[in-house]
Amino acid sequence: MAVRLFTKKEFSLAYQKYMIPASIGIMDMILSYVKDRQKGKPLEMAVDVGCGTGRYTLPLAPHFKKVLGIDISDSQINLAKEHTLAENVSYMVAPAEQLPLKDASVDLVNAGLAAHWFKVDKFVNEATRVIKTNGCLAVHAFHPSTDIEYGDLSGDLTALMAEVWDTLFQHSVKSTEHMLCQYQHIYDAVLLKDKTRITNIPVTIQMSISDIMGFIQAVYMYQAFAEKDASGATEFLINTEQKFRDILGKKADSTLMNTHIKHYCILACKN
């Protein structure tokens, strides 16, 4: 059921509008790794697998001659096309386990916040097949937990977000467990000798109450909750927002909170 949610237009719209932005730090880490392995050679082709609405596809565009975003969801791909102006970026509907690309044709295969949905062994085999010699694989996501920093209210705000995640996890599927272990299983599945796994990468985003409420709605677990119990999910949102307002008081509408999210990344090179 969870994968099917990504095909729904309503979810795609929420994901496009509210999901936390691509991490510039993660992208810089990936690009530095790729350029180091390519040793100054021009970067021709990147493929963003499980690209969704293009959150990690577009940041690749300035660095590669061509970028292809691939996803199994028509609705996500359609939104990605609507929000893409870069002429060197194109999109295609296809599964991660059957990449429509020639052998040794790609400088980078990227998968951001997506690989836990894939059949990992098949995806890794396909990625290895299409990557050129000295080409790279980058697989990354964030840990589904959130610390919020705002003065002496930090403890209460972080505790509230822990309650939110506890509720959301009641509507999770088994693949989400891979996010909790920071993709250890994917690292183990990558058979390339030149590989590294970097965990607990700190990323801080300033978010308002509105931003946080939107982020909750962009998480698939909330969408699964809403599909099973629409009124219960709506009540959960209303109650959560009120709890934030109760903690922050009169300045609730103007408050920006430092939201700390831990990312992790697997990098590998085909020597």
Model confidence pLDDT, tens digit, residues 19-56: 999 999 999 999 999 999 999 899 999 999 999 999 99
Beta pairing class for 147-149 and 131-142: unpaired
The whole domain housing 228 covers: 2-269
Does the structure show a pLDDT above 90 at 214? yes
66 versus 178: the higher-pLDDT residue is: 66
14 pLDDT tier (thresholds 50, 70, 90): confident
Handedness of CA 162, 25, 35, 111 (dihedral sign): positive
pLDDT on residue 40 = 87
Residues 6+ apart with CB under 8 A from 74: 7, 93
Does the pLDDT at position 249 exceed 70? Answer: yes
Domain count, the chain: 1
Say what percent of the chain tops pLDDT 90.
Answer: 90
pLDDT tens digit sequence for 115-169? 999 999 999 999 999 999 999 999 999 999 999 999 999 999 999 999 999 999 9
Verdict on whether the full-model pTM lies above 0.95? no
* Residue 2, pLDDT above cutoff 60: no
CATH number, position 211: 3.40.50.150
